[in-house]
Structure 1
Amino acid sequence: MSARHSDDAGVVVIGLGRFGYHLAGALARLDHEVLAIDRDPARVQRWSAELDRVVQADATEEVALRQLGVADFARVVVAIGASVEASVLTVLALTELGIPQIWARATSEKHAKILHSVGAHHVVFPEAETGERVAHLIVSRMLDFIEFGDDFAIAKVRVPAPLVGRALREVAPRDRYGVMVVGAKLPGEPFRYAGPDTVLAPESVLIVEGSITQVQRFAALT
């Protein structure tokens, strides 16, 4: 029986295309141990100077993964996007290893169904999710947002001009606009939880929660 990493700090990233490389780099910056795997020697050589542990291997082979110690990790991300067959076979190999959390990148709904059917626990659509998110930012006054499904979002917005200088108690954003202001960043200060007495100073940035439509309307108040 393989001994998993006790602190669950380690993550394996398989596939070093743009998504896989940026994911591996972000995990490393968050102080997680990262084992990066790609079958392309050119990619391995390219990223070996920037990532701590980069290995050339065929991740569709269970034996190769076991030899690399992948079975010791609790979380593995299959970031392969160019080959549906390779991503599916890799997830299948990881399932055979008994990996507790298998994350996989999908390029289509059909691809996602196959990944789920062979054992992926979490399937992500990075291109689609990024495209939708950027579209919302382009056509709205939101500075950033995260959607949680069921049309609920948390967004970062600038204080709408008509509300500058007013306290949240007076503004009553939940009753009037259907959103809740949960945090505020005043100029030169860190983010703080917002309360009824928080005054919306000019150039302040707010953290607001509500439906995407409600948040967009709040951000666009004139």
Structure 2
Amino acid sequence: MKNQFVVIGLGRFGQSVTKTLIENENDVLAIDKDEQIVQEIAPQVTHAVQIDATDETALEQLGLHKFSHAIVGIGEDLQASILTTLMLKELNIAEITAKARDDHHGKVLSKIGADNIVFPERDMGDRLGNLLSSNNLIDYLELSSEYNMAEIRAPKAMDGCTLQKLNINKTYGCIIMAIKDENEEVNISPHIEDQIHQGDILTIIGKHKDIRRLQKDYREKSRPK
């Protein structure tokens, strides 16, 4: 049986979530108050409905209690975001994920029942800032408030070293989860005797400050003497 999702608010964030859910073969009910947006997305989703999500009666008539997960993509209209989240909670939807504009907005959403809070604008800004700050950083993802995952291109100072020699876990508290070589072959959970070569793409998990420290140290080690 497919998972059933309802996405409310079809701005850039809501449409992106909807598209990914559909690509992963989930049933999606897409809701927005803008009729044109609803008409445009209707061919791509299971169902699309044009209503004002702050209309409690309209929400109840949709039978949303049958859905396993609701995503509130309303960000700019704080009142609509909060009211919609509150009404979804009262409809006993199992899990609610809500988009927040800032920390204050996120705290309110959490207090009224949202199970997951996402900050797409802030997270994208953090990610872009990290990517622009390092020549070796390919991608960066926040896993939690404390831990991050980074894809880093192995610098010259790592060339020919084994994981045991680098000892990144002990020195930086980070874990190398995978190594992708120049032939696009991926070594998942590499052994301590496996070698790293310059240009390999390393998937690393660790605290933000530790990943930054690792990058800084190896950037300095790789500079011409």
Q: Which TM-score band (shorter chain)? A: 0.7 to 0.9
Query: Which residue pairs with 2:100 in the alignment?
Result: 106
Report the more deviating stretch, 148-157 or 55-64: 148-157
Q: 1:178: Cα distance to partner? A: 4.1
Q: 1:13: Cα distance to partner? A: 0.4
Q: Write the distance in 1 (CA, Å) between the matches of 2:129 and 2:86.
A: 35
Q: Write the distance in 2 (CA, Å) between the matches of 1:153 and 1:89.
A: 32
Q: Write the distance in 2 (CA, Å) between the matches of 1:90 and 1:170.
A: 54
Question: Is the counterpart of residue 12 in structure 1 residue 6 in structure 2?
Answer: yes
Contact 1:187 1:204 in 2 (8 A): yes
Contact 1:165 1:201 in 2 (8 A): yes
Q: Write the distance in 2 (CA, Å) between the matches of 1:34 and 1:124.
A: 19
Contact 1:159 1:219 in 2 (8 A): no
Query: Which residue pairs with 1:161 in the alignment?
Result: 156
Match of 1:89 among 83, 92, 107: 83
Question: Is the counterpart of residue 21 in structure 1 residue 15 in structure 2?
Answer: yes
Match of 2:74 among 80, 86, 96: 80
Summarize the Cα distance change of 1:79–1:137 in structure 2 as closer, same or farther, 3 Å threshold: same
Q: Which consecutive residues of structure 2, in runs of 5 or more, have no partner in the other structure?
A: none
Summarize the Cα distance change of 1:95–1:28 in structure 2 as closer, same or farther, 3 Å threshold: same
Deviations 1:134-182 (A, max 9, x none): 1111102321122344643221111121111222222222344443322
Contact 2:178 2:187 in 1 (8 A): yes
Report the more deviating stretch, 152-161 or 172-181: 172-181
Q: 1:14: Cα distance to partner? A: 0.2
Summarize the Cα distance change of 1:78–1:208 in structure 2 as closer, same or farther, 3 Å threshold: same
Contact 1:183 1:194 in 2 (8 A): yes
Q: 1:67: Cα distance to partner? A: 2.0
Report the more deviating stretch, 117-126 or 18-27: 117-126
Residue 16 of structure 1 aligns to a residue in which SS?
Answer: coil
Contact 1:24 1:34 in 2 (8 A): yes
- Map residues 111-150 of structure 1 onto 2, 5 A cutoff: 111-140=105-134, 141-149=136-144
Deviations 1:103-157 (A, max 9, x none): 1111133322332333222222111111112111110232112234464322111
Q: Write the distance in 2 (CA, Å) between the matches of 1:8 and 1:120.
A: 23
Contact 1:62 1:97 in 2 (8 A): no
Summarize the Cα distance change of 1:152–1:113 in structure 2 as closer, same or farther, 3 Å threshold: closer
Q: Write the distance in 1 (CA, Å) between the matches of 2:149 and 2:108.
A: 31
How many residues align? The count is 216
Q: Write the distance in 2 (CA, Å) between the matches of 1:43 and 1:118.
A: 28
Report the TM-score when normalising by structure 1: 0.88
Q: Write the distance in 2 (CA, Å) between the matches of 1:136 and 1:69.
A: 43
Contact 1:104 1:122 in 2 (8 A): yes
Q: Write the distance in 1 (CA, Å) between the matches of 2:200 and 2:28.
A: 38
Contact 1:8 1:74 in 2 (8 A): no
Amino acid at match of 2:118: V
